[in-house]
Amino acid sequence: MSLIEVTNATFRYDGKEVVNDLNFTVERGDYLCIVGENGSGKSTLVKGLLGLKLPHSGAISLGEGLTARQIGYLPQQRESQRDFPASVQEVVLSGTLNSLGLRPFYTRKQREIALAQLRCVGMYSLRNASFRELSGGQQQRALLARALAATQKLLILDEPIAGLDPLATADMYRLITHINRDHGITIIMVSHDLNAAARAAKRILHLENKQIFFGTSEEYRASDVGKRFLGGDEQ
């Protein structure tokens, strides 16, 4: 079975359909990018994948032993969250909370996981730094490590490059590709950057309040949908 299988899924708010006719799968090791304009249903779909909102009709099924609690999630960062008063290591360690169960304290294993993920994203040397004093790109790396600390299978990243300068953006894309390719973590990323998504991801899901494309990045670039949205800038 696929890691995630979405079948004829429709989501509604207050009786109004937000996104419908969703049919796609996510396989182990995939790097799927969800694209579309504001209001196209991307955020609603992410809530569905995280188990925070149930489809009005259709189904979202998790396979290969995956549960919602085992999904690492990096939400869009709000300005107020940038001033969080904690060390980098404390922020990353909080990503292991789902595995605490009824225990009130972090275990040695969880601390080792946090440090390992800091090494993975190149932030180990800043583990004792104040999160609020980091640059925007460093904060995103720390939050990515936090999401990684929650999973060994799947990361869902919601606009992880939003607000970053071009250098930090390119760095983040390289890091995400490294995590997918070299660590075997499945990636689902929401992005407004269609051209970068088409270059980086293995598969593309394009929404316009319904599914208008799902397939490989190569198929997307060759499709009428891809040509309409990418124009001549995808090279």
Provide the residue ranges of all domains of the chain, joining segments of one domain with +: 1-66+154-235, 79-152
Cα 115 from Cα 109, distance rounded (Å): 10
pLDDT in tens for each of the 235 residues of the chain? 799 999 999 999 988 999 999 999 999 999 999 999 999 999 999 999 999 999 999 999 999 999 988 999 999 877 656 777 899 999 999 999 876 655 667 889 999 999 999 999 999 999 999 999 999 999 999 999 999 999 989 999 999 998 899 999 999 999 999 999 999 999 999 998 889 888 999 999 999 999 999 999 999 999 999 999 997 544 4
Q: Regarding the domain delimited by 1-66+154-235, which CATH topology (the fold level of the hierarchy) does it fall under? A: Rossmann fold (3.40.50)
